[in-house]
Chain A
């Protein structure tokens, strides 16, 4: 099996993408899941 080569550019790109995806997904999912519903009816 060929040895995998470490690429700094790819790593930075992958980390930034993961950070953005994780942030946006968690922000909206948490906000939606924790919002108050109902009220007084």
Chain B
């Protein structure tokens, strides 16, 4: 069996020495605290969202410039839309993209939305493979 640490020994000693009422109250307060934590988390995050502004699929004619509409990100009730990171083809497509299909990936470095991403597809002209992507 693993040797007990000093903290573990001190904790066990404190528990043994404590009055049962102290232990029961401490456990009750632990539960009350946990319930309050869950309730506050639900309240703070109930209006949170991470969504695209504008269309999910944008179609441009060749030579037309692409205007980034951005995303709306609410985390714990705060608007952090300006913290969005643009990935995918965003850096390579330029202001006036050439004919092709581009995918812009939106992510944010945030505790709430750290593992979430949205994708916008930009179709310029009539490239090969665009037929399967059309919404209609």
Interface of B is mostly: helix
Collect the chain B residues with CB atoms within 8 Å of residue A5's CB.
Answer: 19
Closest Cβ of chain A to B126, distance in Å, is: 24
Q: Bin the interface of chain B by size.
A: 35 or more
A-B contact count (CB 8 A): 106
Known: A10-B22, A16-B29, A19-B32. A30 touches B38 (CB 8 A): yes
Collect the chain A residues with CB atoms within 8 Å of residue B28's CB.
Answer: 15
Query: Does A41 lie within 8 Å of B21, measured CB to CB?
Result: no
Complex Cα gap A27–B17 (Å): 31
- Whether B135 sits at the interface, judged by CB under 8 Å, is no
Query: Does B19 lie within 8 Å of A4, measured CB to CB?
Result: yes
Q: Bin the interface of chain A by size.
A: 20 to 34
B40 nearest CB neighbor, chain A only: A27
Collect the chain A residues with CB atoms within 8 Å of residue B37's CB.
Answer: 22-28, 30
Interface residues, chain B, with chain A CB atoms under 8 Å away: 17-23, 25-38, 40-42, 45, 50, 56, 111-119
